Structure 1
Amino acid sequence: MNSKSSLYLLLATFCSSPVLSKSLSELTYLSEEYPPYNFSEEGLVKGIAVDLLIAASDEANERVMGSDIALQPWARAYRSTLIKPDTVLFSTTRTELREELFYWVGPIATTRIVVLAKKVNQIIINSPSDLAQYRIGVIRDDVGEQLLLEAGVPRDSIMENFHAENIAQQIQKGRIDLWAYEENVAKWWISTAGYKASAYEVVHVLQEGELYYAINKNTEVATVERLQKSIDIIRDTDNEDGVNHFEVILNRYK
């Protein structure tokens, strides 16, 4: 065989060989303290989204461990996922503004982004323009902040923070008037801070939607599709005893 024939054989072999996509266990997973979807407890990362991810990776025989998930402030994790290939961020509210920024896998759960206030303050919001007169706490780069800005609320009315527990304390102490955040998570943080969640009410709904895993677009599509397929199986398939694995996960956090 001459050198030209050898080169053709080498090229043909290379082109016909399947390109192996990255394993789910090779991706970088970023999250935040966002209970009951993802949070830490006694040094362990847990929550609905965490357990669903681990179950889906097991379904694909590409196990992801809780220890593979890094909990970071939301703004840092969000920006890292925007620029770093093979990075997954959760739990992320899927919005029109974010739609083209990521690949989306899910859904994880339904969600409601709201504006909370103390009941005793009797704040009434009839339209987004009414929000401008109040001091509104948000997590930097969170969907709550993005939706406020989309609604035309001026930045001067928006008080950024990196940690939800700080905002829970600020609204309780009257340093801010309102909190724009995911309803269940906000109430969880208020309770965790030692206050009564029942003392707060929703005065405005910014958006109802769903939580997803957001994946950097420089990630192999085959890997993304494999994760979606495995999540679909976990969510939609009952075992031989008629038990749905995803329902079992949800029941752990009720």
Structure 2
Amino acid sequence: MKLNRANLFIMLSIFFMCPASAVQPKINWYTEDYPPFNYMHEGQIEGISIKVLRAMYKQLDWTFDEEDILLMPWARVYKTLEDSPNACVFSITYTEERARQFNFIGPMIHNTVSLIGHKESDYSDVDLKNIPGLKVGVVKNDIGHQLLVKEGFHEYQFVYLKTGYELVRMLKLKRVDLIAYGDVIARFQFSRAHIDPNNYKIIAPLYQSFLGMACNKAVDDEVIKTLNQTLVEVLKEYPSLATWHEEGVQ
């Protein structure tokens, strides 16, 4: 068909009026057991973060494939994020060090990482890293572990566990003196383990930041920009996220 100027003008007008859709990249998503944000329930990954991610894909008109999401222990998740060029993770706490290593998508929700212990514990005004025999439960390469290493805690003080659920169980059994973990997530883990969270308290806050998503540096910057812009829009549908941090361990 021969195009005259009028037809060409109409076709170009239609083309520029239609919003451009970002081409869906190949991303492999990884996560851990971190309720209420991401966790396994009856064989399916559920939680606040996965709902947000699904909504982001829907808004971008991307196909969301559950097969592209793998739940693993955090140490493996973190190692995969470091090594795999197509890897992205949720949820992860933002730090300046991590921001230099990965491309962040967020903020999604406020997060406070704390040292948590028994209510009767008295560690006030004490240099915890120099207490002989003190044992702190951590998930390897979790933000709590990384913060304590940075503060000078000794390797022999750490008891490595795979999940937050194991942390609260070990704390109840007094196999560890303290745990380093997000206080909101700890409260949910206490509940899952049928442990009364009112018997525990924050010994010392370690870090205030936010939870978000992060990708390997090899993921294209335009993809990160698109995901960040979409997250801002999607979070308008989840105003309750702004108050989650108020429900942590007291």
Structure 1, gaps ≥5 residues long: 1-19, 236-243
TM-score by length of 1: 0.82
Contact 2:164/2:186, CA 8 A, preserved across alignment: yes
Deviation at 1:225, TM superposition (A): 1.3
The aligned length equals: 223
Contact 2:129/2:152, CA 8 A, preserved across alignment: no
Q: CA RMSD in A?
A: 2.2
Q: 1:245 aligns with which of 230, 237, 240?
A: 237
Deviation at 1:124, TM superposition (A): 2.0
TM-score by length of 2: 0.83
Contact 1:74/1:139, CA 8 A, preserved across alignment: yes
Contact 1:32/1:74, CA 8 A, preserved across alignment: yes
Contact 1:31/1:77, CA 8 A, preserved across alignment: yes
Match of 2:24 in 1: 23
Residues 192 and 206 from structure 1, CA distance in 2 versus in 1: closer, same or farther, beyond 3 angstroms? same
Instruction: Determine helix, strand or coil for the equivalent of 1:97.
Output: helix
Note the 1:84-233 alignment, pairs <5 A: 84-120=84-120, 122-126=121-125, 129-133=127-131, 134-233=134-233
The CA distance in 1 between the partners of 2:227 and 2:45, in whole Å, is 20
**Cα displacement string for residues 68-91 of structure 1 (whole angstroms, at most 9, x for unaligned residues):** 321100000110011101211111
Match of 2:53 in 1: 53
Structure 2, gaps ≥5 residues long: 1-20
Residues 126 and 66 from structure 1, CA distance in 2 versus in 1: closer, same or farther, beyond 3 angstroms? farther
Q: Give the fraction of aligned pairs with identical amino acids, expressed as a percent.
A: 24
Q: Which amino acid aligns with 1:144?
A: G
Deviation at 1:221, TM superposition (A): 1.4
